[in-house]
Amino acid sequence: MDKQEKFIVPIGPQHPALKEPGHFEFTVDGEVVTSATARLGYVHRGIEKAVENRNWTQAMYMLERICGICSHVHATAYCLGVEKLAGVEAPPRAQAIRVLIAELERIHSHMLWWGVAAHEGGFDILFMYTWRDRETVMELLEMISGNRVHYSANLIGGVKFDIDQKQADAIRKGIDYLEERTRHYLEIITTDETFLGRTRNIGVMTSDQAKSLGAVGPTARASDVHRDVRIDHPYAGYDRFPVQIVTEKEGDLEARFIVRLKELFESYRLIREVLDNLPDSELTVKVPRKIPAGQVISRVEAPRGELFYYIESNGSDQPERIKVRTPTLPNWGTVLSTAVGLKLADMPMLLVGIDPCFSCNDRLVYVKDQNQSLTEKTWSWDDLRNHGIERYK
């Protein structure tokens, strides 16, 4: 057999391991991976361009639908940015409710990820049980907001709905049940031997590697990098209800599992605290339809890491430019560099270990060639806009 012949295993765009399309090519020698490349962009929908033709309120709903399980943090980041541009601040009760729903969403997202990661490792029983328990938090969210995903809780200037006493009690009961189950799962994944065989010492990423690759979120925190936007730059209600950071030292897959589980405990504590101390105030503040010109940056902590929004306004009632950088994008680098040397069977768990959200991360970048100039083959932003306008006239 020709030794130089490369055996490339494609995972994606359609593959049972991926929940959304993305293309990864692993060059394999027997069962050992020798190199990895990725190609993304299959779920690009052009949302950043589309919001330029909508007014500020409509844009919020479009941005909320970039992703299904981190929808609330997208809307929160956007609203915080626009409120800063308009020079208003949402009332304390609204901020507290934003925190409450963000934490409930974090619970929802982590439990979903939990099940998916167990399924990738062949541990279907954990998948079924965690998704059964996830129904509890989805019903809570449905009771408060009216929908199981895409809660549409935010308005520019506040939130839409309030939490009354009965709902607060139901939330407390649900959280108690979930906390007990989470404790049980933590015990299982740290002791079950077959599962540990799939996660312990797999995909180890040292702290320096994590810092140089720019990892964010629980992926970085599992390698002992203390990065959490809720603590570094508190936003919304997080200055009144502070969070404690959760980190692990090993940096392998097991550490990532444990970090996310322990973050759940933090979320439970935070939700109880918010429910006990909801400040009294109105729910919204009036915001003009035309937002004053300016540029603003808004950062929040999505369940996957740091979410970054750049919003620019030109004084009219439509946004000029909104740029979104989602947390999954920097985390891909960590997968591609830790994949070398592992077995092919570990690839799905490695891919899912960073909690990828493909819908979030399809963005457009334009590339300058080596002379740092734009050749005829590259388009600048204005070229792209003109092309879009001309073509669809």
Partner 1 sequence: MMKIGAMFSEVFRSLFNKPTTHTYPVEKIPAPDHYRGKLVYNPETCTGCMLCVKDCPAEALELITIDRKAKKFVMRYHTDRCIFCSQCVENCRFSCLQMSNDQWELAALNKEPFTIYYGKEEDVRFILEPAAAEEAEQPCPESA
Partner 2 sequence: MNNILPIVALIIFPGGLFLLTSGLAYEWVDRKLIARFQNRFGPRWFQPLADTVKLLAKEEIIPQGVNAFLFILLPVMGLAAALTAALYVPMAGLAPSFSFRGDLVVTLYLLSVLTLCLGLAGANSADRFSLIGATRTLTQVFSYEAPFMLAMLGPAIVTGSWQINEVNAYAQSNLWLIIAQPIGFLVALVGLMGKLELPPFDAPEAETEIVSGALTEYSGRGYALFRLGKNVELVIGLTLVAAFYLGGLASPLDFLWKTLALLLVLALLQTLFARLRIDQTVGLWWRIGALLALVQLLVLIVL
Q: In the complex, which residues of this chain contact partner 1 (CB under 8 A)?
A: 53-55, 57-58, 61-62, 65, 125-126, 129, 132, 135, 139, 142-147, 150, 152, 155, 160-161, 184, 187-188, 191-194, 196
Does residue 120 interact with partner 2 by CB under 8 A?
yes
Are 18 and 351 in contact by the 8 Å Cβ rule? The answer is: yes
Which residue number, 301 or 346, has a Cβ lying nearer to partner 2? 346
Residue listed under structure tokens 């969403």: 105
Strand arrangement of the beta sheet that strand 294-302 belongs to:
294-302, 305-313, 319-325
* C-alpha closest to that of 299 among 71, 65, 64, 77: 77
Interface map 1-40 toward partner 2 (x if CB under 8 A): ------xxxx----xxx----------x--x---------
Q: How far is the CB of 126 from partner 1 (least distance, A)?
A: 8
Residue 135, number of CB atoms within 10 A of its CB: 12
* C-alpha closest to that of 149 among 108, 100, 115: 108
- Alpha-carbon gap, residue 333 to 361, rounded angstroms: 13
Q: How far is the CB of 121 from partner 2 (least distance, A)?
A: 5
Are 331 and 219 in contact by the 8 Å Cβ rule? The answer is: yes
Q: Which stretch binds partner 2 (CB under 8 A): 95-103, 121-129, 174-182, 383-391?
A: 121-129
Does residue 125 interact with partner 2 by CB under 8 A?
yes
Interface map 128-147 toward partner 2 (x if CB under 8 A): xx--x---------------
Element (H, E) at 109: helix 92-120
Which residue number, 31 or 232, has a Cβ lying nearer to partner 2? 31
Give Rg (Cα) of the chain.
Answer: 22
Rounded (10°) CA dihedral 44, 47, 50, 55: 170
Three-state DSSP at 23 gives strand
Q: How far is the CB of 123 from partner 2 (least distance, A)?
A: 4
Residue 184, number of CB atoms within 10 A of its CB: 11
Which residue number, 343 or 387, has a Cβ lying nearer to partner 2? 343
Which residue number, 291 or 350, has a Cβ lying nearer to partner 2? 350
Which residue number, 254 or 355, has a Cβ lying nearer to partner 1? 254
Does residue 292 interact with partner 2 by CB under 8 A?
no
Q: How far is the CB of 46 from partner 1 (least distance, A)?
A: 15
The pair phi, psi for residue 338, each rounded to 5°, is -90, -5
Q: How far is CA 383 from CA 66, 100, 376, 379, in A?
A: 24, 43, 11, 6
Does residue 204 interact with partner 2 by CB under 8 A?
no
Does residue 195 interact with partner 2 by CB under 8 A?
yes
Q: How far is the CB of 357 from partner 2 (least distance, A)?
A: 18
Q: Which stretch binds partner 2 (CB under 8 A): 82-90, 124-132, 237-245, 369-377?
A: 124-132
Q: How far is the CB of 237 from partner 1 (least distance, A)?
A: 21
Q: Which stretch binds partner 2 (CB under 8 A): 125-133, 205-213, 317-325, 327-335?
A: 125-133
CA-based torsion, 232, 236, 242, 243: positive or negative: negative
